[in-house]
Amino acid sequence: MSENHSADDLTIEELEELLAAKRRARGLERFRRVASEQRPRRGSFDGTTSASRPLSEESALHGSRERARAQGSPWASGPGGTAAVPSAGGEGVTFEAVRITPRTGRLERSLSLLARVNAAFWRKVFPRLRDRLLLLLELAALAGLILVVFSSLSELRVLNREVAEALDSEQVVAPPAHTVGVLPGSSLPPGSEGGVPDPYLHLVEPGASIPIPTPGPRQASRIVIPSIEVDAPVVEGDGGEELKMGTGHRVGSANPGERSNMVISGHNDVYGEIFRYLENVSIGDEVIVYAGDTPYTYLVVAKMVVDATEVSLLAPTPNATLTLITCHPYMIDTHRLVVIAELANQ
C-alpha cells in the first residue's frame, strides 16, 4: 500500500490491515522492551553475556527485525507461545512471548450477556407468572363468593326452621270475643260493665279461641284520619294488650277494601289517646286505611254514641263498611262513640 494514499481512498479491508500492522508493531515494540530488560540476567544464547556479544550480531538481529517489520508480518511464533527471531547467522533465536489479555472487555461482555439473558427471562416468564397470579386471585374471589352464598342459604334455612318451630309450639291465640258482652275499646277493667241483650248474645258468647292470623299483605296496617291528624298503626286483634300498641283490627272482620264490616277500635284517654278527638269527625270526612302500601279511602256517613252493649254494630254488612269504636265520654268511659264510613267509589 502506497504512503501517498490518503485515508479516504482506502477500503475497509485496507484499513483493517493497516490497523493490524500497527497493532503488530506495538506488540514488537513491547516485546523488544521486555527482551532488553531481561537480557542482562538471562545472558546470551551461546553462553556469553550481552556485553561480550559482537556489535555485528546486534546489528544483524536489528536488521532482521527491520526486514520483518518492512514485510508487514510478525515474527514467526514457535511452539508453546514462543517467537522465533532470526539471528545474524540465519538461524532463529527463540524468545518467550509475553501475552497480555484485556480483562476489562471480557468482564463487560459477560455483564452485558448476563443482562440480556436476565431481560429475556423476565420478558418471557413474568407475563406467565402475572397471568397465573391473577387467575389464582379470581379463583379465590369466586370461592369466597360461593362460601358467602352457601352460608347465607344455610342461615336462611335455620331461621325458617326456627320460625316454623316457634309457630308450632307457641301459637298466638286471640282472647275470647267479648266475654263480658261489651264493645271493644274500653279502658275500664274487664267485668266492670253491663250485659248484652238476648238477641245479640250469639255475637259475644265465648266460643272456641280463634288463632290470630299472621299479618298478610291484605290486612290493615295503618289508619289515617286527616281531619283530626290521626296517623297510627293497626295491629291484629282488639283486646287490651293489642290496643296498647295502637288501634286494633277485630279478628274475623273484613280487610281493607273487602265487602263487609271492618271494625277498628282504639283508646281515647290511655296509651297514646289515638282516638281522643274522634268525636270531632264530620260527615263526609275521609278515613284512609292502608293494607301494606295500598291505601283504601272511606267516607264518614254516620256518627253516634251508644251503650257499651250495642254489639250489633259488629255484625257483617252487605257493603264495604268501616266501623271505628272508642270510649265516651272522655275519662268516664260509660258509653261508646261509633263512627261509620263506607268505601269510596264502590
Give residue-wise pLDDT tens across range 223-232.
999 999 999 9
Q: Which of 2-6, 198-202, 280-284 has the highest mean pLDDT?
A: 280-284
Bond before 329 cis per omega within 30 degrees: yes
Give residue-wise pLDDT tens across range 9-51.
778 888 888 888 888 888 888 888 888 876 655 444 444 444 4
Pair (226, 338) in one structural domain: yes
Q: What is the DSSP string of 112-142?
A: HHHHHHHHHHHHHHHHHHHHHHHHHHHHHHH
Provide the 8-state DSSP code for 61: H
Q: What is the mean pLDDT of the chain?
A: 75
What value does the CA radius of gyration of the chain take, rounded to a whole number of Å?
61
Q: Tell me the CA distances in angstroms from 211 to 171, 236, 268, one per residue in order.
A: 7, 11, 27
With respect to residue 20, please indicate whether it lies within any of the assigned structural domains.
Answer: yes
Pair (339, 223) in one structural domain: yes
pLDDT of 61:
52
Pair (30, 130) in one structural domain: no
Pair (142, 252) in one structural domain: no
Collapsing DSSP states into helix, strand and coil, what is residue 346? coil
Pair (314, 259) in one structural domain: yes
Q: Which of 9-13, 234-238, 283-287 has the highest mean pLDDT?
A: 283-287
Q: Estimate to the nearest angstrom the gap between the alpha carbon of 259 and the chain centroid.
A: 52
Domain extent at residue 227: 219-343
Distance CA 10, CA 166 (A): 109
Distance CA 310, CA 185 (A): 13
Pair (146, 234) in one structural domain: no
Pair (129, 232) in one structural domain: no
With respect to residue 207, please indicate whether it lies within any of the assigned structural domains.
Answer: no
Domain end, chosen from 153, 178, 193, is at 153
pLDDT of 160:
80
Phi-psi region of 75 (alpha: psi -120 to 50; beta: other; left: phi over 0): beta
With respect to residue 172, please indicate whether it lies within any of the assigned structural domains.
Answer: no
Domain end, chosen from 57, 79, 96, is at 96
Total tally of structural domains belonging to the chain: 3
Give residue-wise pLDDT tens across range 96-140.
555 555 555 677 777 888 888 777 777 777 777 778 888 899 999
Pair (330, 224) in one structural domain: yes
Pair (284, 246) in one structural domain: yes
Q: What is the DSSP string of 76-108?
A: PEETTTEEEEE-TTS-EEEEEPP----HHHHHH
To the nearest 10 degrees (0 to 180), the angle between helices 12-42 and 55-70 is 160
With respect to residue 40, please indicate whether it lies within any of the assigned structural domains.
Answer: yes
With respect to residue 225, please indicate whether it lies within any of the assigned structural domains.
Answer: yes
Pair (263, 331) in one structural domain: yes
Domain end, chosen from 121, 136, 153, is at 153
Contact yes or no for 322/341 (Cβ under 8 A):
yes
Query: In this structure, how many other beta carbons lie within 10 angstroms of the beta carbon of residue 137?
Result: 10
* CATH of residue 299: 2.40.260.10
Contact yes or no for 320/312 (Cβ under 8 A):
no
Pair (324, 251) in one structural domain: yes
- 292 contacts: CB under 8 Å, gap ≥ 6: 217, 218, 221
In this predicted structure, the answer to whether residue 210 has a pLDDT above a threshold of 70 is no
Provide the 8-state DSSP code for 30: H
In this predicted structure, the answer to whether residue 199 has a pLDDT above a threshold of 70 is no
Total-model pTM: 0.44
With respect to residue 290, please indicate whether it lies within any of the assigned structural domains.
Answer: yes
With respect to residue 255, please indicate whether it lies within any of the assigned structural domains.
Answer: yes
pLDDT of 161:
80
Pair (259, 335) in one structural domain: yes
pLDDT of 71:
55
With respect to residue 64, please indicate whether it lies within any of the assigned structural domains.
Answer: yes
306 burial via Cβ count (<10 Å: 0-12, 13-18, 19+): middle
